[in-house]
Amino acid sequence: MRATRFAKVVRSTLAVPLLLATSMGNPAMAAGTDGLTLPEGFSATVVQEGQGTGRHLAVAANGDIYLASRNGLVAMRDKDGDGKADETMKFGDVQGTEVRLFKNWLYVSDNVGVYRYRLKKGELAPTGPREVVVDGFPMERQHADKTFALDPKGTVYVNVGAPSNSCQQNDRQEGSLGQNPCPILEKYGGVWVFPANQVNQKATDGRRFATGMRNAVAIEWNAAQKALYAVIHGRDSIDTLFPTLYNAEDNATRQGEEFHRITDGGDYGWPYTFWDTRLGKRVLAPEYGGDGKKEPEAGKYPAPLVAYPAHWAPNDLLFYAGKNFPAKYQGGAFIAFHGSWNRAPEPQAGYKVVFQPMKNGKPTGPYEVFADGFAGEMADNNPRNARYRPVGLAVGPDGSLYVSDSQKGRVWRIRHGGM
Amino acid sequence: MSRSRPFISIGVLVLAASAVAWGQSPPAAPAADAGSPGQKLYARHCLSCHQADGYGVPNMQPAIKGGTWVRGEAKPLALFVMTGGFDSAQRKEGATAHNVMPPFRQLSDEDLAGILTYIRQKFGDGASEVTPALVAEARATLPAQ
| A24-28, A118-122, A163-167, A219-223: least confidently modelled range | A24-28
Do A237 and A286 contact (CB within 8 A), yes or no? no
Domain locations in chain B?
34-140
Instruction: Establish, for the pair of chains A and B, how many residue pairs have beta carbons separated by less than 8 Å.
Output: 147
Q: How many domains does chain A have?
A: 1
Tell me the shortest Cα–Cα distance from A261 to chain B, in angstroms: 8
Please indicate, yes or no, if residue A19 is contained in any of the structural domains: no
Quick check: is A36 in a domain? Answer: no
The answer to whether the beta carbons of residues A197 and A263 sit under 8 Å apart is no
pLDDT digits (tens, 9 = 90+) for A289-320: 999 999 999 999 999 999 999 999 999 999 99
Output the CA–CA distances (angstroms, integers) from residue A148 to A196, A285, A359, A388, B98, in the order listed. 11, 27, 24, 24, 20
Indicate if the alpha-carbon torsion angle B14, B16, B17, B18 is positive or negative. Answer: positive
DSSP state of B71: H
Q: What is the 3-state secondary structure (H, E, C) of chain A?
A: CEHHHHCEEEECCCCCCCCCCCCCCCHHHHCCCCCCECCCCEEEEEEECCCCCEEEEEECCCCCEEEEECCEEEEEECCCCCCCCCEEEEECCCCCCCEEEECCEEEEECCCEEEEEECCCCCCCCCCECEEEEECCCCCCCCCCCCEEECCCCEEEEEECCCCCCCECCCCCCCCCECCCCHHHHCCCEEEEEECCCCCEEHHHCEEEEECCCCCCEEEEECCCCEEEEEECCCCCHHHHCCCCCCHHHHHHCECEEEEEECCCEECCCCCEEEECCCCEEEECHHHCCCCCCCCCCCCCCCCCEEECCCCCEEEEEECCCCCCCHHHCCCEEEEECCCCCCCCCCCCCCEEEEECEECCEECCCCEEEEECCCCCCHHHCHHHCCCCEEEEEECCCCCEEEEECCCCCEEEEEECCC
Residue A408 lies in a domain: no
| Closest CB from B7, B20, B103 relative to A306 | B20
The pLDDT value recorded for residue A3 is 35
User: Are the beta carbons of A302 and B16 separated by less than 8 Å?
Assistant: yes
Residue A106's DSSP bridge partners are A101, A117
The model carries a pTM of: 0.87
pLDDT higher than 50, residue A395: yes
Q: Is A65 domain-assigned?
A: yes
Report the gap between the CA of A218 and the closest CA in chain B (Å): 17
Domain with A246, as residue range(s), is 3-13+51-395
- φ, ψ of residue A140 to 5 degrees: the values are -125, 165
Helix (H, G, I), strand (E, B) or coil at B140: helix
Could you tell me what percent of chain B has a pLDDT over 70?
69
Q: Are A239 and A251 in contact (CB under 8 A)?
A: yes
| Residue of B31, B98, B106 lying closest to A248 (CB–CB) | B31
Tens-digit pLDDT profile for residues B36-78 = 899 999 999 999 999 999 999 988 888 999 888 899 999 999 9
Interface contact flag, A173 B103, Cβ < 8 Å: yes
Q: What is the CA angle A385-A48-A70, rounded to 5?
A: 60
Whether A25 maps to a domain, the answer reads no
Residue A29 has pLDDT above 70, yes or no: no
How does residue B87 score in pLDDT terms, banded at 50, 70 and 90? low
Closest CA to B103 of B118, B88, B120: B88
Average pLDDT taken over every residue of chain A: 92
Query: Cβ–Cβ contacts within 10 Å for residue B83, how many?
Result: 16
Which residue, A358, A391, A360, is CA-closest to A374? A391
Amino acid at A229: Y
Q: Residue A353 is part of a domain; what is its CATH number?
A: 2.120.10.30
Q: How far is A171 from chain B (nearest CA, A)?
A: 7
With CB atoms and an 8 Å threshold, state whether B102 touches A310.
Answer: no
Q: What is the CATH number of domain B34-140?
A: 1.10.760.10
* CB-based contact, A307 to chain B, within 8 Å: yes
